[in-house]
Amino acid sequence: LLRHPHAADRLRTRPDLMPAAVEELLRYDAPVHLMLRRARHDLELAGRAIAPGQTVLLVCGAANRDPAAFPDPHVLDLERSGTRHIAFGHGPHFCLGAALARLEGEVALGALLTRFPDLRLDGPEPQWQRSLNFRGLTRLDVRFTPAGG
Ligand code: HEM
């Protein structure tokens, strides 16, 4: 969000957009990028035959940027409506904590944006942990005016 300061400012003036914004941020930069499934029976997936017992790696991070599912998928659009991303998975193993994670996202982002109106990136590029699956920051340098200061 800090890489899109206009979007952050828009969210400051339109807090009612927060639920849609959290969904769009989950789609745009999903914290979990991979899921594994084992086929229970013969199936065909994108023209490939999958045999029972074979493991399939699902790249949900890519699915969340699928141009067939999302117009302009590489654009962060906090007002995108009906975002059917799969950042929390899909089906019987759909994330048990999705409702809590959504609520936490709304509360935390809302508090950050209102308490630090000039919060912005500063210093070297943000650094990410080296993981194929999980998107997490190891370093994020920011600058802001302390509240009341
Ligand atoms: C932004 C935060 C989160 C993301 C992106 C996320 C993502 C996911 C994904 C993608 C799965 C499905 C894995 C699969 O199908 O192979 C999953 C499952 C799960 N998540 Fe989360 N999760 C988040 C937060 C949480 C929280 C806060 C909790 C608990 C309080 C939680 C508990 C679980 C559990 C228990 C499962 C396994 C469900 C099952 O296998 O039936 N998650 N999560």
User: What pLDDT does residue 91 have?
Assistant: 92
Whether ligand 1 lies within 6 angstroms of the CB of 89 is answered as yes
* Total-model pTM: 0.92
Q: Is 15 in the pocket of ligand 1 (CB under 6 A)?
A: no
**Is it the case that residue 149 has pLDDT exceeding 90?**
no
pLDDT at 147 over 90: no
DSSP readout, 33-87? -EEEEE-SS-EEETTEEE-TT-EEEEEHHHHTT-TTTSSSTTS--TT--S----T
93 lines ligand 1 (CB under 6 A): yes
Per-residue tokens: 96:
């048990």
Domain spans in the chain, listed from the N-terminal domain onward: 5-118
Cβ(126) – ligand 1 distance below 6 Å: no
Measured CA to CA, the distance from residue 114 to residue 116 in angstroms comes to 6
Which tens digits make up the pLDDT trace of 105-122? 999 999 999 999 999 999
Mean pLDDT score of the chain: 94
Question: Is residue 89's pLDDT more than 90?
Answer: yes
Residue type at 106 in one-letter notation = E
Ligand 1 neighbourhood includes 58 CB (under 6 angstroms):
no
Tell me which residue has its CA closest to atom 32 in ligand 1.
Answer: 97
Q: Residue 82: what pLDDT? A: 83
Which atom of ligand 1 is found nearest the CA of 104?
Answer: 27
What is the three-class DSSP state of 27? Answer: helix
Taking only the tens place, the pLDDT of each residue in 2-30 is: 999 999 999 999 999 999 999 999 999 99
User: Which residue's CA is the closest to the ligand 1 atom numbered 40?
Assistant: 93
Is residue 148 very low, low, confident or very high in pLDDT (cuts 50, 70, 90)?
low
- pLDDT at residue 53 greater than cutoff 80: yes
Q: Tell whether ligand 1 has an atom less than 6 A from the beta carbon of residue 34.
A: no
- Give the mean pLDDT of 36-42: 96
